[in-house]
Structure 1
Amino acid sequence: MTHLEWDDEFSTMLPFDESVNDTLDMSAVINEIHKMPLVSPIAATKTSADIERENQNRTMKVIQLTEEERDAIMRSDKFSRFFDRASRLIERALDEPADMFVDYSGGDHDDSGNTQRHQLVRFGRDFFDDRWSRRRLVTALDWSPVFPELLLGAYHANDEAPHDPDGVCLVWNLKFQKTTPEYIFHCQSAVTSATFATYHPNLIIGGTYSGQIVLWDNRSTKRTPVQRTPLSASAHTHPVHAVMIAGSLNAHNLLSISSDGKLCTWSLDMLGQPQQAMELTHRQARTVAATCMSFVDENVNNFLVGSEDGRAYAGSRHGNQAGISDAFEGHQAPITSISSHPLRDSVTLSPLFLTTSLDWSVKLWSVKETRLICSFEEASDYVFDAHWSPIHPALFATVDCTGRLDLWNLNQNSEVPSVRTMIPGQPSLNKCRFHSSGSHIAVGDDNGRIHMFDLNEAMAIPHADEWTLFSHTISELRQLAVEQRENDTDALFGQPTVPPIPVIH
């Protein structure tokens, strides 16, 4: 048996001996034996002086733009869209309130927040732009049907700024605390009515004092209209007091009405001429001088019109009796607004609507009967607008020129408003619109300011029995109206209103 020494035993397994060439790469040998990845030599660490020396030696290529190239970039649509979007994002971030010192342990608790929570109506914020809305009458308000945080405000001309555009539309954002509008649009004629295009979230439609209907697109970098109707005899030549979208997603039209009683139907794809034009007359003789318009329970065929003669009219767009069918007489001055009840949860009530007037009154009507149901005469001056809550059957709001916002809950009281709020400074309030949630209401005044109010849940959210109570309330109001008419008739003909007590001989 051969005995091996230690060196003899491992001599054949050693990867290196003195006979190996000095230039042999040891990493390659180890990699071949152990099949390990090749490890490159680690470079020496660079000092800051080395890095600075390399930066000095490296030649930087700086692109110098000429004045023409710089102006071309700044005028390009791509740069305008980028700058517009970036500025809105920065404004949102800068205007968001952040309380770094909030104490979640309850140390900062006081009763002021609890008091605010128990208020039925609480002031939220103002929307106002000194450049674009100052001294302009708010002529229209509308909430976006797609983005519920967006509010559209339309403004009349500013007589003290003759060089500014007469008509302005501003889109405000309720979600963020930024003090500037999201979008600014304008045209050369005062805007008398405006609305979001229901099935086109990027389009805004405006009716003007000149009779033109203008169309803005927020995807465009221009603030001026992208389309407009012609000033011709086939279209409107008088102020357009109402514009609205009627129909469904696949079949809808734009409807407009002007002060000369012309009702036009348009296609948004072609505003060159109306698809249909109807002259509204009552009994084939009297032209209806329209001041406002509303549809009956979102019915695209039946509509309601308020007029300068103090009458409200009901009519239809199609059928054998197209045109005006009924007249509702009761006001002694021009009607300023008309609001149809959003009838959704009740089949026992006939469609209801409200009218406001310069005779200081608000009146409640039913489409099925031309007789007045109830007259609310708590105002002390002109009443300019009324609007039903979209979720509460008995709740509606009114505004007047004394700066007063009244909220009426007919299930609680039909003689006085449930809540009365005075705007500081008592500006003339021209428009009011409930938010689709029913928890907010926007109010526009004659100085271009839009006031936002938050409604407490106790005020805004209906109880389970509200519709039943509302049906009983309307029945009682109808009965009281009948009794009042009988008493007025008896008084007119000199008959006693109370039958004489029989005398027994």
Structure 2
Amino acid sequence: MSSEQRKLELDRKKQKLAELKSQRRREEEARVQNLLRAPAVNGNAQNGSSSRQTLSSDQVEEILREVGISAEPTIREESPAPPRGAHSENHLDPMSASASHPRISSLLSVDLEFSTIQTASTDNKDSAIYSKGTQTDDERISVGEFSLGSQEFDYDDDMILDHGQFRGRAHSHDQDSPLPIYNEEIAKILGQAKHVDKTLTRQDTEEKKTQTVQTVQPLSEEEKNRLTLDPEFLDSFNRSCKIIGRALNEDIDIFINYTKDPYEKAVASDDLLHLAQVYHDDTWTAKRLVTGMAFSEHHPDLLAVSYGPCDIPNEPPGVIVVWNTKSKRITAEFIVYCQSEIQSVAFARFHAHLLLAGCESGQICVWDNRLTSRKLPINRSPLTTQAHTQPVSCLAVVGTKNAHNFVSLSRDGRICSWNVDNLTQPVDGKELVTKEGKPASATRMSFPIGEMQTFVVGTDTGEILAASRNGADPAVIKTDVCYKGHSGTLTGIEFHRASGVVDFSHLFISSSHDWTIKLWSTKDANLKFSFESHPDLVLDVAWSPVHPAVFASVDADGNIFVWNLNEDVEGPVARLRAGAEGDTVYMNRLIWSADGKHVFVGDDEGRVHMYDVRESLYVLKSEEWNRFARVLSDMKESNEEAEKYNL
């Protein structure tokens, strides 16, 4: 708004205020005139209405005495002069007016009479409301009359000074001089009112926010159905649930004792193992045999477990569940299945999202965990004679990122190399035969760390065959060395996995149905040792990935043994039986976590048991490697001495 418009607006407001003042002055003068005309009208009424009942002075005094009122008139003291600077013409006091005017003073002694009362209702006069700008008086602002801005104040009828008290009624426009004392009081009141207003406003805002949160409209059934059918929403919802679950289940060992010797030997053998978790799903894994387990190298917390068939009709015969082993809550990250029994499982080392499985039918199946809504394989190999025609018992991904192979082994001894991106036919396929040229019935396979060509295979006859994929014959792999010692089917075989100051990659261990575990070396045929502490069929064996002298084994009676050859070569240092007392638990598969802190064991009920390992088995002293080398040397000498005595 420009200055001229503002000036015109102020002039218009001043004119309006002046009209209001003059109107109020006229009303006050009319009220006084009415009071002056009252005696004459009363006298005429007495002359004209003879029928009205009147009371004499004696009767009035008698009535007043009965109610305890003195008949003598009480004369008020004269009111003091109005405050300095106040306009007498605008400040009209009815009592002062009656004292100065003779006709008004005569009203103090009048005759009382009974009269009829007539009531009438009238509409309330609309009160005019003005903004701060409308009620601004430039003259008062210029002299600093109001210190609270350009606000105007209306006083009630009892707010005119009389002996220091408020009485009568006047408007702030009728006062020329300020009232400093009462302005200060009004300022305090307004300050408190502003504070209260702010508090109420803040409370109202919070209540509105609360009401806004509480008044969230629920989804209709149609909207719920539409959301549950949206794959993007389901994928986002499942991912969010997993993130929240991981955050809620993060745990820290607040009772850790840093003064404790991590290398202290356990007092009791079962102190080295502690059951931490059991992974089980009543819908997907109940009453299924664990047939294979594998960890992801890209995500070490993920453990893929393959399960065999169950007796429930219309259920898929092969199921793979990927468990999150870091979460304290039992969490299945992915669940996939196929229409054939699954015998082996592996993660594609150089394809972070691919999951591989070998089936009873001889097919190779591939899943992509990015497709969370797809449970069936995205790709599978055909049933041809160029590939496998027997159950695929073992899978391995060997090599480096730039040069690697996906290798599979079936029970008929056929070894195939695959390109994960194309499973229409294998890159090459060869038959494994013994030195005598007989086909080998293979059960387990293992490659040394960092090797792509040489490997060892366990057979049904108990023999271990060492061979190389780089043979001259494109259709046959002829074994180079045959290790004999087991008298039953080979159930597990694995090369040494720990790396350190001494190279033990030439060592491998094997387990068999003959209730024994044997230690072998590809460099020295005289280095072999047999461990015979198991009371039943030994079903699997695995080296610790961090400790050079530690490995674990399981048997059909539910026993879990942990061996530390640096401590004892005759028996395990930890022995634990899974399940309740008297229960028969069939332990079928075994695997270590990548850090060597946990051992995972699968049984025939579809459960995977996770055991925490004592620190002395994965936190190493520097002499553990040299100590294990001396133990191996002692084993070799004892074998040589035994052969001399046998001769």
Q: What are the superposed Cα offsets for residues 361-401 of structure 1, whole Å, 9 maximum, x if unpaired? A: 00000012445610001111100111001110000001101
- Give the letter for the 2:239 counterpart: R
CA distance in 2, matches of 1:473, 1:379: 22
Q: Which amino acid aligns with 2:304?
A: L
- Asked whether the 8 Å contact 2:526–2:640 carries over to 1, the reply is no
The AA in structure 2 aligned to 1:464 is: S
1:354 paired residue number: 509
Residue by residue over 1:206-229, the C-alpha shift from the partner in whole angstroms, topping out at 9 and shown as x without a partner, is 111111111111110211111111
Give how far 1:129 is off: 0.8
Tell me the CA shift for residue 342 of structure 1.
Answer: 1.6
**Are the counterparts in 1 of residues 317 and 339 from structure 2 also a CA contact under 8 Å?**
yes
Whether 1:153 aligns to 2:305 is: yes
Question: Is the 1:361–1:379 contact (alpha carbons within 8 Å) kept by the matching residues of 2?
Answer: yes
Equivalent residue, structure 2, for 1:294: 446
The equivalent of 1:442 in structure 2 is 600
Match of 1:281 in 2: 433
Residue in 1 that maps onto 2:282: 130
Matched AA of 2:378: V
2:535 to 366, 380, 383: 380
Aligned to 1:210: 361
| Contact 2:502–2:625, Cα closer than 8 Å, also in 1 | no
Report deviation, 1:406.
0.6
1: CA distance between counterparts of 2:504 and 2:617?
A: 22
Question: Cα deviations across residues 242-271 of structure 1 (Å, max 9, x unaligned)?
Answer: 111111112222110000000000011101
**Counterpart residue number, 1:166:** 317
**Matched ranges for 1:7-22 at <5 A:** 21-22=11-12
Question: Cα–Cα, structure 1 residues 16 and 478, in superposed 2: closer, same or farther, change >3 Å?
Answer: same
Question: Does structure 1 residue 465 correspond to structure 2 residue 616?
Answer: no
* Contact 1:327–1:370 (Cα < 8 Å) also in 2: no
1:75 aligns with 2:229: yes
CA distance 1:449–1:16, change in 2 (3 Å): closer
Deviation at 1:47, TM superposition (A): 12
CA 1:46–1:223: 2 relative to 1, 3 Å: same
Change over 3 Å in CA distance of 1:479–1:19 after alignment to 2: closer
Pairing 1:57-96 to 2, within 5 Å after superposition? 73-89=227-243, 91-92=245-246
**Could you tell me whether the CA contact under 8 Å between 1:297 and 1:343 is conserved in 2?**
no
1:469 partner letter: R
Show CA shifts across 1:99-138 (max 9, x none): 9xx999xxxxxxxxx999x932211111111111111111
Q: CA deviation at 1:484?
A: 1.6
Distance 1:129 1:345, change over 3 A: same
Q: Residues 388 and 283 from structure 1, CA distance in 2 versus in 1: closer, same or farther, beyond 3 angstroms?
A: same
Identify the residue that residue 346 of structure 2 maps to in structure 1: 195
Partner of 1:431: 589
Residue number in structure 2 paired with 1:263: 415
Q: Distance in 2 between matches of 1:201 and 1:345?
A: 27
3-state DSSP class of the match of 1:287?
A: coil
Distance in structure 2 (CA, Å) of the matches to 1:63 and 1:453: 45
Question: Which is richer in helix?
Answer: 2
Does 1:238 find its partner at 2:396?
no
Give the equivalent residue in structure 2 for 1:229: 381
* Contact 1:196/1:204 (<8 A) preserved: yes
Asked if the contact 2:496–2:505 (Cα under 8 Å) also holds between the matched residues in 1, the reply is no
Stretch of structure 1 that moved more, 290-299 or 352-361: 290-299
State the one-letter code of the partner of 2:630.
H
2:157 equivalent in structure 1: none
Tell me the TM-score normalized by structure 1.
Answer: 0.79
CA shift digits 1:419-442 (9 cap, x unpaired) = 111112341111111111111111
Distance 1:179 1:450 in 2: 11
Tell me which of 451, 460, 475 is aligned to 1:308.
460
The aligned residue for residue 170 of structure 2 is none
Which consecutive unaligned segments of at least 5 residues does structure 1 have? 1-14, 28-43, 53-59, 105-113, 491-505
Taking every aligned residue pair, what percent have the same amino acid on both sides? 35
Partner of 1:34: none
Whichever residue aligns with residue 75 of structure 1, its letter is: L
Matched, 1:317 2:469: yes
Q: 1:46 to 1:373 in 2, by over 3 A?
A: closer
Q: Which residue of 2 aligns with 1:108?
A: none
Which runs of 5 or more residues in structure 2 are unaligned? 15-131, 135-197, 208-214, 257-265
The worse-fitting range, judged by mean Cα deviation, of 235-244 and 424-433 is 424-433
Partner of 2:639: 481
SS of aligned partner of 1:365: strand
Q: Distance in 2 between matches of 1:87 and 1:63?
A: 20
Question: Contact between 2:527 and 2:635, CA under 8 Å: does it hold in 1?
Answer: no
Q: CA deviation at 1:48?
A: 11
Q: 1:463 to 1:19 in 2, by over 3 A?
A: closer
1:331 has 2:486 as partner: yes
Shift of 1:345: 2.1
Matching residue of 2:577: 422
- Residue number in structure 2 paired with 1:502: none
| Partner amino acid, structure 2, of 1:486 | K
**Contact conserved, 1:138 with 1:445, CA < 8 A, in 2?**
yes
Letter in 1 for 2:618: A
Q: Is structure 2 residue 515 aligned with structure 1 residue 364? A: no
Go from structure 1 to structure 2 and tell me whether the alpha carbon gap of 1:26 and 1:417 turns closer, same or farther (over 3 Å shift): same
Higher strand proportion, which one? 1
Q: Deviations over 1:68-96 (max 9, x none)?
A: x8756533321231232234345556767
Partner of 2:119: none
Counterpart position of 1:9: none
Aligned residues of 1:206 and 1:214 also touching (Cα < 8 A)? yes
Q: Is the 8 A contact 1:151 1:174 kept in 2?
A: yes
Alignment check: 8 A CA contact 1:294 1:304 kept: yes
1:301 maps to a residue whose letter is Q
RMSD between aligned residues: 3.7
Query: Per the alignment, do residues 485 and 179 of structure 1 end up closer, same or farther by CA in structure 2, a change over 3 Å counting?
Result: same
- Gap change, CA 1:26 and 1:182, over 3 Å in 2: same
Rg: which structure is higher? 2
Question: AA paired with 1:77?
Answer: P
Q: Is the CA contact 2:496–2:504 (under 8 Å) kept in the aligned structure 1?
A: no
The residue aligned with 2:609 is 451
1:147-171 CA deviation, whole Å, 9 max, x = no partner?
222111111111x213111111111
3-state SS of 2:590 partner: strand
Query: How many residues end up aligned between the 2 structures?
Result: 442
Question: 3-state SS of the aligned residue for 1:119?
Answer: helix
Contact 2:512–2:539 (CA under 8 A) maintained in structure 1: yes
Change (3 A) 1:350 1:223: closer
1:177 alignment partner AA: K
Q: CA deviation at 1:344?
A: 2.5
CA distance change for structure 1 residues 197 and 22 in 2, over 3 Å: closer, same or farther? farther
Q: 1:19 to 1:381 in 2, by over 3 A?
A: closer
1: distance between equivalents of 2:397 and 2:503? 28
Quote the Cα distance in structure 1 between the aligned partners of 2:295 and 2:235: 24
AA of the residue aligned to 1:443: V
What residue in structure 1 maps to residue 182 of structure 2? Answer: none
Is the 1:356–1:386 contact (alpha carbons within 8 Å) kept by the matching residues of 2?
yes
C-alpha distance in structure 2 between counterparts of 1:64 and 1:375, whole Å: 67
SS at 1:177's partner residue?
coil
Contact 1:129–1:180 (Cα < 8 Å) also in 2: no
Would the aligned equivalents of 1:214 and 1:229 in 2 still touch at CA under 8 Å? yes
| Partner Cα separation in structure 2 for residue 71 and residue 273 of structure 1 | 43
Mean CA deviation greater in 15-24 or 164-173:
15-24
